[in-house]
Copies of this chain bind each other. A is one copy, B any other.
Amino acid sequence: MLLLVLIMDIAPGYRPPTLTVDLVMFRIERGVLEVLLLKRAAEPFRGEWALPGGYNAAGETTVEALGRVVWDKVGLDLRSDVGFFEQLCTVDTVARDPRGHAVSVVYLGCGFGLDLPGGSQSHRFWPVDALPELAFDHAEIIAYARQRLVSKMSYSNAVSGLVDSTFTLSQVQAAYEAVWGRELDKRNFRKKFLSLGLIEETGGFWATGAHRPAKLYRFRSSELEILPSPF
């Protein structure tokens, strides 16, 4: 209460928008890029699908609020289930929430092999290219998130969030193909991707049935790495 009085004192009549957080969580399943959605149980947009998200109160950071919200609503643990995670953008158009002006800080995450407890009618992954009707401006947010992921995979190691901790070159190529939505030339991809210096051999092999065992790789860094400039 004292805090509120102090703020009012500095900016008389100031009233902030509501602050919310939302998560765009991607995974690849059977070669298809999917995004986590939640069926809304309450108005507005009751019964429609939406990104998992919720209110951010004074006194908690956006990541704290998001961690709380996605754990409560879909059983996702941001501390362990996410391979690539970053702030995507803050969306702020005044009419985006019929309840009043709500500014949302949106995060982008990628997970490998994610399966959620109780995923069912109330929350599940949907193929990004076959989404249901979406609440709020969430269709735009997902389109922007995908575009960011497409771009980021062309100049960084962001693909690391979509593959296992060790992987074959075919698996990393399949992740690129799922996100970019087009096939890549195998020989050219291998040569160029290896030349970026992002990954190293583990010494192990991936053996499946009749195929020749394939070399296993891992990323050199678990942090986001931006490729060096061309000049």
Known: A92-B105, A154-B228, A192-B230. A100 touches B7 (CB 8 A): yes
The one of B4, B16, B195, B230 in contact with A56, judged by C-beta atoms closer than 8 angstroms, is B16
Report the stretch among A23-31, A59-67, A203-211, A214-222 that lies at the interface.
A59-67
Instruction: Give the size of the chain A interface in residues (CB under 8 angstroms).
Output: 50
Tell whether, in the assembled complex, residue A231 and residue B193 are in contact, meaning their CB atoms are under 8 Å apart.
Answer: yes
Docked Cα-Cα span, A62 to B176, in Å, equals: 34
Return chain B residues, CB-CB under 8 Å to A16.
16-19, 55-58
Q: Is A41 an interface residue (CB 8 A)?
A: no
Q: Is A131 an interface residue (CB 8 A)?
A: no
Most buried by B among A17, A105, A189: A17
Docked Cα-Cα span, A61 to B91, in Å, equals: 9
Q: Is A80 an interface residue (CB 8 A)?
A: no
Docked Cα-Cα span, A100 to B6, in Å, equals: 8
0/1 interface trace, chain A 173-214, chain B, CB 8 Å (1 if under): 000100000001000110011011000000000000000000
For residue A221, give the distance in angstroms from its CB to the closest CB of chain B.
15
Known: A4-B15, A19-B17. A226 touches B94 (CB 8 A): no
Q: Name the residue on B nearest A44 (C-beta).
A: B10
The one of B60, B176, B188, B196 in contact with A94, judged by C-beta atoms closer than 8 angstroms, is B60
Docked Cα-Cα span, A99 to B15, in Å, equals: 15
For residue A23, give the distance in angstroms from its CB to the closest CB of chain B.
14
Interface residues of A (CB under 8 A from B): 3-4, 6-7, 10-11, 14-19, 55-63, 87, 89-90, 92-94, 99-101, 103, 105, 151, 153-155, 176, 184, 188-189, 192-193, 195-196, 226-231
20 A-B pairs with CB atoms under 8 Å apart are: A3-B100, A6-B100, A7-B100, A11-B55, A15-B57, A16-B55, A17-B57, A19-B19, A60-B94, A61-B92, A63-B92, A87-B89, A90-B105, A151-B226, A153-B229, A154-B155, A155-B227, A176-B231, A189-B231, A196-B230
